[in-house]
A and B are shown apart, each in its own frame.
Chain A
Amino acid sequence: MTWLVAHGTEAIFWWFGSLAMVSAALCITRRNPVFSGLWLIVTLFSIAALFVILDAQFIAVLQVLVYAGAIMVLFLFVIMLLNLGRQVTTDLKGPTGAGIAVGLAGLLLFQLLILRHAAPSEVITLPAGSVARLAQEQGLVASIARPLFDTYLLPFEVTSILLLAALVGAVVLAMRKL
């Protein structure tokens, strides 16, 4: 119990982290694409919880709205539109393909876990809890909105053009017969 009090945040973090990893593993192994999509939604919600623990509450709200809301509805809509819900044969690759996939993924995991111990240089690191304090002083949304409409105004505007292009492209592609 004392351990839980001392490491409460870390325990909750690992709980949601394991939930995300387990549901991601289920997502990539389910035969039915609908179940894959539903497990991916569980992963996305767990990642939203991790965002809250990491002092990014506004991003967590956006994660639920944009990913779990809009993007996953789009995915499930297309799956059901194409009537892929009743897969009789699995689309998982055979033993050779699975072996290659697991081997390559394991190699990548080994490389990424070395990077886990990387720490940003002391020179550029902010004092602990400064992002949380900034959010408390300026407000959750304002602390993100200020740099967005100030320093990062140009990328923000470019993003709007990107979304317009995607919108037009999706409509054209879905209309025309290739």
Chain B
Amino acid sequence: MLLAPALSVSAMLFTLGVAGVLLRRNAIVIFMCVELMLNAVNLTFVALAQQLGVAGQLFVLFVMAVAAAEAAVGLAIILAIYRHRHTVNLQNINLLKG
């Protein structure tokens, strides 16, 4: 049974994703880190699916669909912001501050 190693790797990958989001200022790299976090959660789902039935693998399918939708819309937003502000650095994007 590889449940404990899989959960360890998943925890490490999720932590690296969180660290990336906190560490970077480039909006696209932050998006990549969010994808990394989603992948870590997928790994947990698949690891637990070994013991709890195939439904866990199905949820990975749904997570992938949500991730694809999120990536498409998010990158379109980044593209629109870049056209407006000519930067993807989050330090320079503070539209809500007015």
Contacts and interface: CB of A to CB of B under 8 A. Distances in A.
Given A40-B36, A101-B19, A56 B60 contact: yes
A59 to B, nearest CB: 5
Q: Is the interface of B mostly helix, strand, loop or mixed?
A: helix
Contact of A40 (B6, B8, B18, B35): B35
Interface residues of B, number: 71
Contacts of A82: 28, 78-79, 82, 88
B76 A131 contact: no
Contacts of B32: 27, 36-37, 40, 75
Q: Is the interface of A mostly helix, strand, loop or mixed?
A: helix
Given A108-B18, A113-B11, A115-B7, A93 B23 contact: yes
Contacts of B28: 33, 75, 78-79, 82, 84
Closest 10 CB pairs of A and B: A28-B20, A166-B69, A101-B22, A112-B11, A173-B76, A105-B19, A17-B9, A91-B25, A170-B76, A109-B15
B96 interface: no
A54 B9 contact: no
B2 A54 contact: yes
18 contacts: A10-B5, A13-B5, A27-B36, A28-B16, A28-B20, A28-B36, A54-B2, A59-B61, A74-B75, A91-B29, A92-B24, A93-B22, A93-B24, A116-B7, A130-B53, A131-B53, A170-B72, A177-B83
Interface residues of A, number: 90
Nearest to A52: B46
Contacts of B97: none
A100 B46 CA distance: 32
Interface of A: 9-10, 13-14, 17, 20-21, 24-25, 27-29, 33, 36-37, 40, 43-44, 47, 50-51, 53-56, 58-59, 62-63, 66-67, 70-71, 74-75, 78-79, 81-82, 84, 87, 91-93, 97-98, 100-102, 104-106, 108-109, 112-113, 115-120, 124-126, 128, 130-131, 134, 143-144, 147-148, 151-152, 155, 159, 162-163, 165-167, 169-171, 173-174, 176-178
